[in-house]
Amino acid sequence: MISIQETGTGWRSAGSVVARRLLLDRQAEFWMGELDPVRSRAEIRARVVAVVEETEDTKTFVLRPNAAWQGHRAGQYSSVEVEVDGVRVRRCYSISSPPGEALVSITVKRVPGGRVSTWLHKHTRSGDILRLGTAAGDFVLPAATPTKLLLLSGGSGITPVMSMLRDLAARDAIHDVVFVHHARSRANVIFGEELSELAARHAGLRLVLCLDDEPSAPRGFEEARFANLVPDFAKRSTFLCGPGPFMDRAERLWENVGASALLERESFAPTTAPARMVSSVEGVRVRLARSDRAVAAKGQGTLLEQLERAGERPAHGCRIGICHSCKCRKQTGTVQNVVTGEVSSEPDQEIQLCISVPRSDLELDL
């Protein structure tokens, strides 16, 4: 409520009081932003409120995002940007917490020699701020929960399916779920305790842990053992996430029994090696149609790398062709896809900047 004060010169007009109040509000907003770095309308920033040691090489970072965060669906990922040795680097991490909560978690396995995972493990503490991207990805539970569900994961691939299971538990929708997880040993089962508690509480959840160090256990995914453990697997809507060879083997089994249509998979790394070493054309001119500017792409490498070297900051996530954050329309010109080797010369085609090299001058809808 605005109060109108009497001054020595009479009643001050309501308009001038409102204007002064607005100015004060803006100043307050500015100083609050200075004092509280998580505040931003444009960027998704999140304060780390807890760091949980899950296993010897995996930590969960519990985050409180600012108002720019628009939520996620169970199974989606977000990109996380950190500054490593003065360079901003971004990686994708599946959100392990269920949707609809004020706090959001990512669960990161430390990869030996890996830049971002090692940095997060070593340097990130409660109170720190991380930059996030909008939640993305179509590895999500359908709106109508399937009657028979199979969640199949290996190692850190448990993160998106754990979000799904937590979501189902929160909605009291665990009716007929089989959760099969592969790990090196019991100590390496991420969320092991919570999984056991959920299985004890929900009659509709069957938990199967496949541990490599069990006597006479096969390492990783093995068709005969799996079919024995989940005989009706081909009738279940299945969500699969884990290391590449593990997923490839599982996917072949679904193909062999003609059940591929029921299988959804999420990869953390590219499944296909680059088709060939494709050298790019240097010094091409790229017109960025939306901002009506032209830049000279710099050096060798993918279009994303060349544009970044030229000072541009196109949206991106995984940088390996998985997440589609970098997709854009190529209006004119020729690019080659480094994964498939395919050449795109037709106008108005969708390309991914992180796996395309320029072959001529280009016009992009950026």
Ligand X SMILES: Cc1cc2nc3c(=O)[nH]c(=O)nc-3n(C[C@H](O)[C@H](O)[C@H](O)COP(=O)(O)OP(=O)(O)OC[C@H]3O[C@@H](n4cnc5c(N)ncnc54)[C@H](O)[C@@H]3O)c2cc1C
Q: Which residue ranges make up the site for ligand FES (CB under 6 A)?
A: 316-319, 321-326, 352, 354
Q: Could you give the C-alpha distances from 304 to 13, 334, 350, in angstroms and in order?
A: 56, 15, 14
When CB distances are held under 5 to 8 angstroms depending on the partner's kind, the choice from ligand FES, ligand X, none that residue 114 binds is: ligand X
| Smallest distance from ligand X to CB 343, Å | 25
Length of the chain: 366
| Smallest distance from ligand FES to CB 353, Å | 6
Report whether 151 contacts 122 (CB < 8 A): no
Binding string to ligand X for residues 25 to 64, with x set by CB under 6 A, is what?
Answer: ----------------------------------------
| Smallest distance from ligand X to CB 115, Å | 4
C-beta of 47 vs 327, nearer to ligand FES: 327
Report whether 48 contacts 126 (CB < 8 A): yes
C-beta of 156 vs 280, nearer to ligand X: 156
Q: Could you give the C-alpha distances from 4 to 14, 23, 163, in angstroms and in order?
A: 6, 16, 53
When CB distances are held under 5 to 8 angstroms depending on the partner's kind, the choice from ligand FES, ligand X, none that residue 325 binds is: ligand FES
Q: Pick from 45, 59, 91, 316: which binds ligand X (CB under 6 A)?
A: 91
**Cβ neighbour number for residue 305 with a 10 Å cutoff:** 18
| Smallest distance from ligand X to CB 349, Å | 23
For ligand X (CB under 6 A), the number of binding residues is: 22
The stretch near ligand X (CB under 6 A) out of 109-117, 167-175, 186-194, 290-298 is 109-117
When CB distances are held under 5 to 8 angstroms depending on the partner's kind, the choice from ligand FES, ligand X, none that residue 354 binds is: ligand FES
| Smallest distance from ligand FES to CB 320, Å | 6
C-beta of 148 vs 327, nearer to ligand FES: 327
Report whether 53 contacts 125 (CB < 8 A): no
C-beta of 161 vs 234, nearer to ligand X: 161
Amino acid at 241: C
Phi/psi region, residue 333 (left: phi>0; alpha: psi -120 to 50; beta: rest), is left
Angle, vertex CA 361, rays to CA 356 and CA 363, nearest 5:
80
Strand partners, 299: none
| Smallest distance from ligand FES to CB 77, Å | 10
When CB distances are held under 5 to 8 angstroms depending on the partner's kind, the choice from ligand FES, ligand X, none that residue 265 binds is: none
Tell which positions 253-272 bind ligand X, by CB under 6 A. Answer: 268
**Would you give the DSSP letter of residue 95?**
B
Q: Pick from 66, 156, 334, 337: which binds ligand X (CB under 6 A)?
A: 156
Residue 77 sits in the site that holds ligand X (CB under 6 A)? yes
**Cβ neighbour number for residue 40 with a 10 Å cutoff:** 15
Find, among 15, 9, 142, the residue nearest to 75 by Cα.
Answer: 142
C-beta of 113 vs 127, nearer to ligand X: 113
Residue 108 sits in the site that holds ligand X (CB under 6 A)? yes
Q: What's the distance, Cα to Cα, between the start and end of the chain in Å?
A: 45
Binding string to ligand X for residues 329 to 358, with x set by CB under 6 A, is what?
Answer: ------------------------------
Please report where in the chains the tokens 């090696």 appear, as a residue: 273
| Alpha helix stretches (DSSP H) within the chain | 14-35, 115-123, 158-170, 192-201, 223-229, 244-256, 303-309
Among all residues, whose Cβ is closest to ligand X? 114
Handedness of CA 121, 127, 130, 133 (dihedral sign): positive
C-beta of 60 vs 336, nearer to ligand FES: 336
For residue 208, what is the enclosing H or E element?
strand 205-211
Binding residues for ligand X (CB under 6 A): 77, 91-94, 107-109, 111-118, 156, 159, 268, 318, 322-323
